[in-house]
């Protein structure tokens, strides 16, 4: 890398996946996955243990784990 130039990965530096925005549809007890849906309506089970999120919140999901809660503009 040349001086003054930075390189940014498009996805995760470990696995190259990208975080996906999903909306929480239904929560579950701690350490159990919640039901979430992406923009296309596809439903997935997601662990919410790292974020403070509830039904209706939008989260960024990576590897089946919510890593951040997004804030509406």
Question: 61: domain CATH number?
Answer: 2.30.30.140
13-59 pLDDT, tens digit each? 666 678 899 999 999 888 899 999 999 999 999 999 999 999 999 99
pTM comes to 0.77
Instruction: Say how many domains are in the chain.
Output: 1
pLDDT of residue 5 exceeding 60, the answer is: no
DSSP bridge partners of 62: 65
CA 36 from chain centre, in angstroms, equals 10
Where in the sequence is the domain holding 69, given as residue range(s)? 1-73
Q: Is the pLDDT of residue 68 over 60?
A: yes
């Amino acid at each position: 890398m040349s001086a003054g130039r930075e390189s940014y990965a498009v996805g995760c530096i470990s696995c190259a996946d990208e975080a996906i925005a999903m909306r929480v549809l239904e929560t579950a007890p701690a350490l159990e996955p919640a039901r979430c849906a992406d923009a296309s309506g596809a439903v997935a089970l997601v662990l919410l243990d790292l974020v403070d999120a509830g039904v209706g919140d939008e989260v960024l999901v990576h590897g089946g784990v919510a890593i951040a809660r997004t804030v509406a503009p």
